[in-house]
């Protein structure tokens, strides 16, 4: 399936099966804001629980926090967000559409990359097994020219961004002859910096004094609580603070469904370390976070590291874990070595000491920080991208049919077990099924379903990713056995009612994920 169709399919599936709805849909929606439906909220909660358990429950040296969305406005001055949390924007004067200037340039680079990919494909076809891609890319004159072109554009983009040189960025857009995809014209405004923070006003203070920001990252709530947490939990360095919560950014380009939202949720962990030890911990968290993703079944070909070309103002090293979304490899999670930048700035602007007394070296210092930061919504999109599949399966009558199946890891599935009476209109079956459901619901997220033929009910459970279906039939009434159907293998087995919980628990329990 073409990438674009795959993406459209995924969005449609999310809506049809109650995972994600456009916010305020009855009013034609609010752009880049989404609501999670009944199955969506279960899946998202399971992803958040998995993250929380792997950070807080599995690490004695990481503790949790839930800080407020509103913070003292000086927080954002100290963190650099008031002055530097900007995206370069450009408007097209004919369509009145607004774009991120850097994204226009990145898209131009992607177009050139596509030309390279096309040449490679053609050559692959021509040379068959003999084809050496590396040699081809480095020696073919047209491909080498394209590669050099990309490198030169990347360099100019990086330089103009790090020097905050907006005229240079505009020049790059003009040199690349980039046209507005909407109007087709090149009638651009100058490039301006646009601050991404949403602001609001405190009720009892007028003007600038009362200006509040909706936090653009959860991180700063962790920094300003660093000493409160350290002292109350008596943690010694190195130790971490984890937090899950909403963040808000007034994104200029808000496309790609839940990939880039204006209101989203982050799962962030700040790991406080001795100065000089940050690179050791940076490497540790890079590896640990990659393993976390792979435990969910995400493969080597779906994930990759991407070192930052441009370091943020607070970082001395930074890498993204990128995932292959239906629109290509994009950032899923960031791992940043943030030095002592944030704590030092909060110390400076608040006038309060934010230092740790290290008994081992008998010295006080501002700790260094390694951060892991992932969007819960992006994680959701990655899980759905990986899981949503169409496959050909044998029918009951020996023919073949296609099914849509959501092959989520069983431990994060929104419904863990569905209980289905074979027939709806036989009270003895529905009563027996209700009895099984009422027992299982104490241990698992269960669903009882008696509507439609059994085959259609199986398909519905496949489409929401339920790993197990239990069917109650006439044999159940005689010998207390049921059929258990496994989503991925489609295997059906006859087991005793008392065995259900053990079998289901083995696959849907979080332990298999956490023991990775
Ligand atoms: N505290 C560091 C920080 O916020 P970031 O790279 O700007 O770093 C971290 O964001 C993660 O938050 C990203 O990797 C992404 O998963 C998620 N994220 C950022 N902006 C987002 C948006 N507009 N919509 C959805 N998720 C977003």
Per-residue pLDDT tens for 390-423?
A: 999 887 677 888 999 999 999 999 999 999 999 9
Helix (H, G, I), strand (E, B) or coil at 98: strand
Centre of ligand 1 to C-alpha 343, Å, is: 20
Ligand 1: which residue has its CA nearest to atom 2?
A: 373
Can you give the pLDDT at residue 205? 74
Centre of ligand 1 to C-alpha 295, Å, is: 22
Q: Are 406 and 388 in contact (CB under 8 A)?
A: yes
How large is the average pLDDT for residues 355-366? 95
Centre of ligand 1 to C-alpha 176, Å, is: 29
Can you give the pLDDT at residue 475? 93
Q: What is the pTM of this model?
A: 0.90
**Nearest alpha-carbon partner for 318 in 327, 305, 328, 330:** 305
Q: Ligand 1 pocket: which of 266, 269, 338 to mutate (most atoms <8 Å of CB)? A: 266
Query: CA separation (Å) from 418 to 185, 217, 344, 428, 456?
Result: 55, 38, 53, 18, 13
Residue 79 per-residue DSSP state = H
Q: Are 407 and 488 in contact (CB under 8 A)?
A: yes
- What atom in ligand 1 is closest to the CA of residue 336? 2
- What atom in ligand 1 is closest to the CA of residue 373? 9
Whether residue 255 has pLDDT greater than 80: no
Please, where are the H alpha helices in 100-240?
101-127, 133-139, 141-162, 166-175, 219-224, 226-233
Q: Tell me the HSE value of 350 on the side-chain side, using a 13 A CA sphere.
A: 19
Query: CA separation (Å) from 141 to 119, 135, 223, 404?
Result: 11, 12, 52, 45
Can you give the pLDDT at residue 397? 74
Q: Ligand 1 pocket: which of 51, 71, 85, 217 to mutate (most atoms <8 Å of CB)? A: 217
Whether residue 207 has pLDDT greater than 90: no
State if residue 409 touches ligand 1 by the CB under 6 angstroms criterion: no
Can you give the pLDDT at residue 136? 86
Angstrom distance (rounded) from CA 362 to CA 419: 62
Taking residue 211's Cβ as centre, other Cβ atoms within 10 Å add up to 14
State if residue 67 touches ligand 1 by the CB under 6 angstroms criterion: no
Query: CA separation (Å) from 444 to 19, 42, 105, 166, 490?
Result: 19, 12, 49, 55, 21
Can you give the pLDDT at residue 66? 98
State if residue 278 touches ligand 1 by the CB under 6 angstroms criterion: no
Please state, for a pLDDT cut of 70, what percent of the chain lies above it. 100
Average pLDDT, the chain: 94
Per-residue pLDDT tens for 2-36?
A: 777 899 999 999 999 999 999 999 999 999 999 99
Q: Are strands 468-472 and 417-421 parallel, antiparallel or unpaired?
A: parallel
Can you give the pLDDT at residue 341? 96
**Residues near 72 by Cβ (< 8 Å), separated by ≥ 6?**
none
Per-residue pLDDT tens for 43-96?
A: 999 999 999 999 999 999 999 999 999 999 999 999 999 998 999 999 999 999
**Residues near 402 by Cβ (< 8 Å), separated by ≥ 6?**
390, 391, 392, 393
Residue 1 banded pLDDT, cuts 50, 70, 90 = low
Per-residue pLDDT tens for 492-514?
A: 999 999 999 999 999 899 988 99
Centre of ligand 1 to C-alpha 502, Å, is: 39
Q: Are 371 and 339 in contact (CB under 8 A)?
A: no
Whether residue 358 has pLDDT greater than 90: yes
The answer to which of 128-132, 270-274, 370-374, 450-454 has the lowest mean pLDDT is 128-132
Q: Ligand 1 pocket: which of 33, 242, 247, 321 to mutate (most atoms <8 Å of CB)? A: 247
Can you give the pLDDT at residue 233? 95
Centre of ligand 1 to C-alpha 266, Å, is: 7
- What atom in ligand 1 is closest to the CA of residue 379? 16
Q: Are 243 and 257 in contact (CB under 8 A)?
A: no
**Residues near 195 by Cβ (< 8 Å), separated by ≥ 6?**
81, 82, 85, 86, 250
Residue 146 per-residue DSSP state = H
Per-residue pLDDT tens for 307-340?
A: 987 787 788 999 999 999 999 999 999 999 999 9
Ligand 1: which residue has its CA nearest to atom 16?
A: 375
Whether residue 377 has pLDDT greater than 70: yes
């Amino acid at each position: 399936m073409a990438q674009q169709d795959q993406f459209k399919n995924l969005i449609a599936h999310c809506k049809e099966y109650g995972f994600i709805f456009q916010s305020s849909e009855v009013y034609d929606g609010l752009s880049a804001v989404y609501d999670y439906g009944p199955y969506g909220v279960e899946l998202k909660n399971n992803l958040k629980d998995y993250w929380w358990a792997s950070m807080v429950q599995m690490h004695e040296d990481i503790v949790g926090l839930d800080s407020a969305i509103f913070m003292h406005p000086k927080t954002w001055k100290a963190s650099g967000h008031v002055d530097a949390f900007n995206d370069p924007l450009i408007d097209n004067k004919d369509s009145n559409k607004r774009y991120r200037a850097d994204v226009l340039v990145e898209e131009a680079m992607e177009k050139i990359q596509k030309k390279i990919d096309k040449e490679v494909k053609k050559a692959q076809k021509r040379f068959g097994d003999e084809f050496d891609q590396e040699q081809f890319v480095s020696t073919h004159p047209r491909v080498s020219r394209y590669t050099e072109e990309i490198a030169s554009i990347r360099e100019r983009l990086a330089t103009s961004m790090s020097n905050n040189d907006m005229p240079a960025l505009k020049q790059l857009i003009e040199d690349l002859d980039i046209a507005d995809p909407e109007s087709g014209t090149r009638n651009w405004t100058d490039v301006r910096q646009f601050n991404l923070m949403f602001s609001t006003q405190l009720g009892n203070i007028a003007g600038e004094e009362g200006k509040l920001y909706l936090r653009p990252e959860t991180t700063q709530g962790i920094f300003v609580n660093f000493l409160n947490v350290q002292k109350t939990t008596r943690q010694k360095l190195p130790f971490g603070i984890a937090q899950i919560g909403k963040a808000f950014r007034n994104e200029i380009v808000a496309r790609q469904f839940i990939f880039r939202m204006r209101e989203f949720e982050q799962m962030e962990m700040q790991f406080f370390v001795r100065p000089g030890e940050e690179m050791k911990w940076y490497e540790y968290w890079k590896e640990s976070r990659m393993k976390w993703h792979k435990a969910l079944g995400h493969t080597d070909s779906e994930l990759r590291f991407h070192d930052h070309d441009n370091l943020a103002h607070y970082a001395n090293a930074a890498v993204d874990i990128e995932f292959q979304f239906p629109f290509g490899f994009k950032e899923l999670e960031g791992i940043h070595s943030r030095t002592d930048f944030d704590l030092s700035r909060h110390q400076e602007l608040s006038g309060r000491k934010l230092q740790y007394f290290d008994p081992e070296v008998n010295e006080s210092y501002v700790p260094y920080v390694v951060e892991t930061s992932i969007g819960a919504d992006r994680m959701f999109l990655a899980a759905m991208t990986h899981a949503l599949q169409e496959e050909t399966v044998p029918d009951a009558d020996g023919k073949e049919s296609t099914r849509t199946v959501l092959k989520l890891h069983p431990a994060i599935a929104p419904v863990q077990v569905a209980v289905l009476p074979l027939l709806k209109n036989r009270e003895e079956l529905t009563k027996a099924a209700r009895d099984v459901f009422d027992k299982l619901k104490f241990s698992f997220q269960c669903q009882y379903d008696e509507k439609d033929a059994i085959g259609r009910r199986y398909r519905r459970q496949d489409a929401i990713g339920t790993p197990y279906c239990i069917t109650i039939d006439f044999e159940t009434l005689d010998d207390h056995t049921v059929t258990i159907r496994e989503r991925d293998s489609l295997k059906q087995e006859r087991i005793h009612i008392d065995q259900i919980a053990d079998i289901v628990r083995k696959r849907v329990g979080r332990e298999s994920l956490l023991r990775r």
